[in-house]
Amino acid sequence: MKNIYLTGILLFITISSFSQSASSHILRAKKAYSRGNYVEASFESIKALRIKPKKKKPQEILSFSYELAQEYLTESIEDLKSMSTNFTGDITVSQRKRIVKLYEILKKLDKKSYEITKIIKKSKFNISFDRIDVSEEYTEAKRSLIEGKKEAAEMHYVKGLDLMKNNDRESFKKAAKRFKKAEKYIPNYKQCLNLYQEARKNGTTRIAIFAFDNKSGTRNFGAIGESVSDKLSAQLFNNKEAMEFTEIVSRDELGKLIAEHQLNMSSDINQSTVSEYGKLLGVHIIVTGKITQVSSEHQRVIHDNPYTVQKEVIVGTESYVNSKGKTKSRSVYGIASANIYESSKSSKAILSGSFKVLDVKTGRVLSQDQFNETYNWLNKWVSFKGDERAINKRNFSNFDRNELNPPTNFEMGNFLVVKLTDKMSKTITNLLK
């Protein structure tokens, strides 16, 4: 709970610097005090008093919350110090960072409260606080943090070098992550940036994504097999986290390699042939698949039998003499009617097939699945004949305003490809983690 509370304090200090009214600060001070968040209660009270120094409520809250806040911050610092005395890893750096931040909050609280005592000359509440000086402790905390960062950088540096000795792709990948962490702690630490680049290069997985074989017997959707491979490549490429240790062989490069080695690459690549092909192409993973069905249908249904709606509306005015003999004007009502014609048309497309992800080194199928993606489009619209005033348009909020052009096969095919490759990219990304 204390860690959650500390996090809340740090977040509060970050986001509450903008000015508000005194009443809003007082309200927040009350709520914070009732929750036991004395740090926030103190800062909010101080902000209220800077706007309206004579307000009694923030004076009262501050008189109680200040020492409690100071006590809490001091105890939290001591707890973190006891946990971070000896370096045990990344957690030690995090703990020492929090110590530094808490000292900064403590210093800020001391400064702001002192400024308030200069503004408020008299108060029935005790808001004359003893000042605290933690300058030496703060300096020591920053020194300890720097030392912790050095130890963390050295730890990741050494582990990275050890991992590189294994001389395999997965170990290089892990080593690169270690060097990256070391570089984050101490920029330019022992050439970690160069070591990261070297390890990342050797830890990178090269993937070949082949155009899916279109075995559906139709070409009405364009080169949909190529569209799948291109879109999948693009989605993976846009995932920066996954691409850190991934290289996708472009279609042009793949075409040159296939022609050079006179390979017959298709969805028929299997566990017995993948290793040979993979080595020739210089890749670690091959993604291949086939499309067994791609079809569409368009249907239009028009309701020829209209229905009639009626509504009482004002059709004019008339003059009349009231009981006092005065001439007045009043509305004349009549019935407005209209014939309603509801029409609709729909389109549907289906994309079915299968794909598999093969490991070149072992010939093992890392993942394989069937897919059956559908796309549905519906256009419903209303037309009428007669008096528009009879129509309650809210009854037709689920209808389009007018007739729309249906999507083309190419457009529906593109939607299906995006839907499919979004799922496939997540599968491949999980394999690459």
Pairing of the two strands 285-302 and 327-359: antiparallel
Helix (H, G, I), strand (E, B) or coil at 421: helix
Q: Is the dihedral of CA 279, 284, 290, 295 positive or negative?
A: negative
Lowest model confidence (mean pLDDT) among 59-73, 253-267, 320-334, 358-372: 253-267
Query: Taking the chain, what is the end-to-end CA distance rounded to the nearest angstrom?
Result: 32
Express as a percent the part of the chain with pLDDT over 70: 92
What tens digit of pLDDT does each residue of 121-135 get? 788 888 888 888 999
Q: Is-contact 418 226, C-beta < 8 A? A: no
Report which of residues 174 and 122 the model is more confident about: 174
Q: How far apart are CA 21 and CA 158, in angstroms?
A: 54
Phi then psi dihedrals of residue 341, to 5 deg: -120, 110
Instruction: Tell me the per-residue pLDDT of 262-309, one tens digit each, with 9 for 90 and over.
Output: 766 554 566 667 777 788 888 999 998 999 999 999 888 777 678 899
State which H helix or E strand residue 28 sits in.
helix 22-35
pLDDT tens, residue by residue, 76-110: 999 999 999 999 999 999 999 999 999 999 999 99
What single-letter amino acid sits at 246? Answer: T
Question: Rounded mean pLDDT of 218-222?
Answer: 85
pLDDT at 196 over 90: yes
In order of their start, the domains of the chain are 22-132 (no CATH), 151-203 (no CATH), 204-300+346-385+403-432 (3.40.50.10610)
Answer yes or no: are the C-beta atoms of 313 and 389 closer than 8 Å.
yes
Is residue 243 classed as helix, strand or coil in its secondary structure? helix
pLDDT value for 271? 67
The pLDDT score that the predictor gives to residue 217 is: 86
Provide the pLDDT for residue 17: 44
Give dist(CA 350, CA 415) in Å, integer.
10
The CA distance from 358 to 274, in Å, is 7
For residue 296, what are the β-bridge partners? 349
Average pLDDT over residues 211-221: 87
SS3 385: strand
Length of the chain: 433
Cβ distance 376 to 297 under 8 Å?
A: no
> How does residue 379 score in pLDDT terms, banded at 50, 70 and 90?
very high
What is residue 4's DSSP assignment?
A: H
Contact assessment for residue 373 and residue 350, using Cβ atoms and an 8 Å cutoff: yes
Instruction: Locate 103 and state its tokens.
Output: 């000292």
Whether 274 and 232 have beta carbons less than 8 Å apart is answered as no
**What's the confidence (pLDDT) of residue 250?**
83
**3-state DSSP of 247-293:** EECCHHHHHHHHHHHCCCCCCCCCCCCHHHHHHHHCCCEEEEEEEEE
pLDDT tens digits, one per residue of 14-66: 444 444 689 999 999 999 999 999 999 999 999 999 999 989 999 999 999 99
Nearest to 369 by CA among 283, 290, 259, 269: 290
Chain-wide mean pLDDT for the chain? 89
Average pLDDT over residues 207-232: 89
b/e for 24-44, b at 16 or more Cβ within 10 A? ebbebbbebbeeebbbbbbbb
How many CB atoms neighbour CB 88 within 10 A?
13
